[in-house]
């Protein structure tokens, strides 16, 4: 019988597997804590204990280690008072030895120490654009109008700022993989959520910052899962990301109007992750055991057993009954 580590790594590579792996996750900190865990031992401990309970109760095939508390990028120049991209023109790197890196390395090590079996662990990394917009708004899932204005104001300076953030994230990624023992990263990217923002603008001024981070993970021999984030109704042109150097791709199947089968074609046969809606209105959260298991089997029947991992569009609600995750894996194990 293939162990979970071997099973998941085979699935990442699109190889034949004995059963399709399952991957779901949720936050362990409250929303107002997500940006405030750096130098906060209470939020740090809450995140570690949340992972420990999750692993013990769910016994997952693999774990996405949540970066709860570290959503903010602590560059002193980027504050919620910034209203012009020119205010950030002099931005500098945090430097390789910043404690923001060290605390996340410690987080990954402590979470992995709670594992009861040898399983794959990837660490959540947000795109430079996401860090910038959350930092200037001081709120998760906000800041799009501000960054859209910054891009229009001075595209070259905007691109420069993202590259500085990206190089720091590349340092973080290298440390997470080589020092903390993570198997790779779960890279969350999202386009600017304002009318009129073009895909060409993303490719020309933003994609380079994504690639800096992803290529750092590849150089460290990590596994890359690309998450095209549809959180709170966000919509993305997923074709922007079709040639990114990743092994696995995850997106919001329903909201983006792109099935797993269609996505596999779009992304050149790469392994796809998803299938279930992640909201409180979705089947995983509200449905019966019979309906959830029927959906899981249907997804495998439609897509085959190679190059697929069953999961959700995005992070699922934190108060979900963990038995619902077990129902999905049970159906696929049959």
CATH number of the domain that residue 272 is part of: 3.20.20.210
| Average confidence score pLDDT of the chain | 96
Report the pLDDT value the prediction gives residue 233, as an integer from 0 to 100: 77
Place of tokens 């199947």: 253
Report the pLDDT value the prediction gives residue 207, as an integer from 0 to 100: 98
User: Distance of CA 166 to CAs 74, 252, 253, Å?
Assistant: 13, 24, 27
State percent of the chain over pLDDT 90.
96
Report the pLDDT value the prediction gives residue 8, as an integer from 0 to 100: 98
CA 39 – CA 180 distance, rounded (Å): 18
Element counts in the chain: helices (H) and strands (E): 13, 8
For residue 19, give its domain range: 4-333
For the range 45-54, what are the long-range contacts, defined as Cβ-Cβ under 8 Å and sequence gap of 24 or more? Answer: 47/107, 47/111, 48/107, 48/110, 48/111, 48/114, 51/111, 51/114, 52/111, 52/114, 54/25, 54/26, 54/28, 54/322
Residue 119's closest CA among 169, 49, 70, 56?
56
Name the pTM for this structure: 0.97
- 268-315: per-residue pLDDT in tens? 999 999 999 999 999 999 999 999 999 999 999 999 999 999 999 999
CA 148 – CA 97 distance, rounded (Å): 32
Contact 94, 100 (CB under 8 A): yes
Report the pLDDT value the prediction gives residue 234, as an integer from 0 to 100: 85
Residue 230's closest CA among 260, 253, 214?
253
- 107-123: per-residue pLDDT in tens? 999 999 999 999 999 99
**Which is more confidently placed, 290 or 231?**
290
**Which residues, including other chains, have CB under 8 Å from residue 247's CB and lie 6 or more apart?**
12, 13, 184, 223, 224, 225, 270, 271
Rg (alpha carbons) of the chain, rounded to whole number: 19
- 154-170: per-residue pLDDT in tens? 999 999 999 999 999 99
Residue 182's closest CA among 105, 88, 245?
105
- 13-40: per-residue pLDDT in tens? 999 999 999 999 999 999 999 999 999 9
Residue 1 reports pLDDT greater than 70: no
Number of domains in the chain: 1
How many residues make up the chain in this entry? 334
CA 133 – CA 66 distance, rounded (Å): 19
Report the pLDDT value the prediction gives residue 245, as an integer from 0 to 100: 98
Q: pLDDT band at residue 231, thresholds of 50, 70 and 90?
A: confident
Residue 264 reports pLDDT greater than 90: yes
Report the pLDDT value the prediction gives residue 141, as an integer from 0 to 100: 81
CA 14 – CA 58 distance, rounded (Å): 24
Q: Measure the CA dihedral 147/151/152/155, to 10°.
A: 170
Q: Compute the average pLDDT of residues 312-319.
A: 97
Report the pLDDT value the prediction gives residue 322, as an integer from 0 to 100: 97
Q: Compute the average pLDDT of residues 79-83.
A: 94
Report the pLDDT value the prediction gives residue 176, as an integer from 0 to 100: 98
Q: Compute the average pLDDT of residues 330-334.
A: 93
């Amino acid at each position: 019988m293939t162990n979970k580590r071997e099973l998941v790594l085979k699935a990442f590579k699109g190889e034949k597997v004995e059963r399709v792996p399952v991957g779901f996750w949720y936050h362990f900190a409250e929303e107002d804590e997500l940006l405030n865990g750096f130098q906060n031992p209470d939020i740090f401990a809450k995140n570690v204990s949340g992972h420990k309970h999750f692993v013990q109760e769910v016994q997952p095939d693999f774990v996405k280690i949540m970066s709860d508390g570290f959503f903010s990028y602590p560059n002193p120049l980027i504050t919620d008072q910034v209203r012009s991209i020119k205010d950030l023109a002099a931005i500098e790197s945090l430097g390789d030895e910043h404690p923001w890196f060290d605390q996340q390395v410690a987080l990954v090590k402590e979470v992995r120490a709670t594992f009861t079996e040898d399983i794959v662990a990837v660490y959540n990394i947000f795109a430079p654009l996401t860090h910038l917009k959350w930092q200037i708004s001081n709120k998760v899932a906000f800041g799009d109008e501000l960054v859209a204005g910054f891009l229009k104001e001075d595209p070259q300076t905007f691109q420069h700022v993202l590259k500085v953030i990206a190089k720091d994230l590349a340092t973080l990624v290298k440390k997470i993989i080589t020092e903390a023992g993570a198997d790779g990263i779960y890279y969350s990217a999202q386009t600017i959520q304002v009318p009129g923002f073009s895909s060409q603008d993303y490719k020309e001024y933003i994609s380079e910052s994504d690639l800096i981070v992803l290529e750092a993970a590849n150089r460290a021999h990590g596994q890359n899962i690309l998450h095209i984030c549809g959180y709170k109704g966000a919509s993305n042109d997923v074709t922007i990301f079709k040639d990114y150097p990743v092994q696995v791709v995850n997106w919001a199947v329903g909201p983006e109007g792109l099935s797993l089968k269609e996505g596999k074609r779009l992304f050149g046969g790469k392994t796809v992750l998803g299938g279930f809606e992640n909201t409180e209105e979705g089947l995983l959260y509200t449905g019966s055991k019979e309906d959830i298991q029927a959906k899981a089997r249907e997804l495998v029947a439609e897509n085959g057993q190679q190059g697929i991992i069953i999961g959700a569009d995005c992070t699922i609600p934190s108060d979900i009954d963990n038995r619902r995750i077990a129902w999905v894996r049970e159906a696929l194990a049959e």
